[in-house]
Structure 1
Amino acid sequence: MTTGAAETDTQASSVADSSNITPSSLEKTLTEKLNASHVDIEDMSGGCGQAFQAMIVSPQFEKKNSLARHRLVNSALKEEIAAIHAWTPKCFTPEEWEKRQAQ
């Protein structure tokens, strides 16, 4: 079965190296495709571009449950996600983000 994702860490590393996936490239794509008002990407892999954690705030998440939000993000980053080892998005609406920041 072919999913488009890298099957081994070595393969993922090779794909990530050749595709130049960086926190800033992920942030740019999410901002453009999801009209995100806030995107914070953290490289959890120590700089090799294999594991990222993201905080994403977008009005497109309104009235969507967590699964639908993740699907929206994964769709926007389909090619990038296929090239990395680990991806953890945390998705918030602008209202949810404001409440979180106020706490």
Structure 2
Amino acid sequence: MAMSHDDLLSHLRDGFPDAEIILTDLAGDNNHWQAEIVSEQFKGKTRVAQHQMVYASLKGAMDGADGQLHALALKTRAPK
């Protein structure tokens, strides 16, 4: 099962309303995405903690065999 650009962006916007978000469909299949997210919420957090925050915002969309999203490459940081 795939996740559309709009659905993925909606999940990320809900979790990070202040963020600058750039999504790239890496394989053209709505199933392999790269997300670049710049958010104040990441300030002072490790990269691992930032990525955990992103996965939490997806509300299980990547969990288990019937996850809607197969792969998500992340680039996260706080604003400079």
Question: Following superposition, which runs of at least 4 residues in structure 1 exceed 4 angstroms of deviation?
Answer: none
Aligned partner of residue 74 in structure 1, secondary structure: helix
- TM-score, scaled to structure 1: 0.66
Equivalent pairs, count: 76
2:17 pairs with 1:23: no
Structure 1 counterpart of 2:46, one-letter code? N
In structure 2, the CA distance between the partners of 1:29 and 1:53, relative to structure 1 (3 Å rule), is same
Higher strand share: 2
Task: Write the mapping of 1:3-14 to structure 2, written as runs, cut at 5 A.
Answer: none
Q: Is the 8 A contact 2:14 2:57 kept in 1?
A: no
- Give me the identity figure in percent: 29
Alignment partner of 1:41 is 2:26? no
Unaligned runs of 5+ in 2: none
Higher relative contact order (CA 8 A, sep 6+): 2
TM-score normalised by structure 2 residue count: 0.82
**Aligned: 1:83 with 2:68:** yes
Question: Which 5+ residue runs of structure 1 have no aligned equivalent?
Answer: 1-14, 96-103
More helix by share: 1
Over 3 Å counting, the alpha-carbon distance change for 1:56 and 1:77 in structure 2 is: same
Which protein is bigger by CA-based radius of gyration? 1
| RMSD of aligned residue pairs (Cα, Å) | 1.4
Aligned to 2:10, what secondary structure does the other structure show?
helix
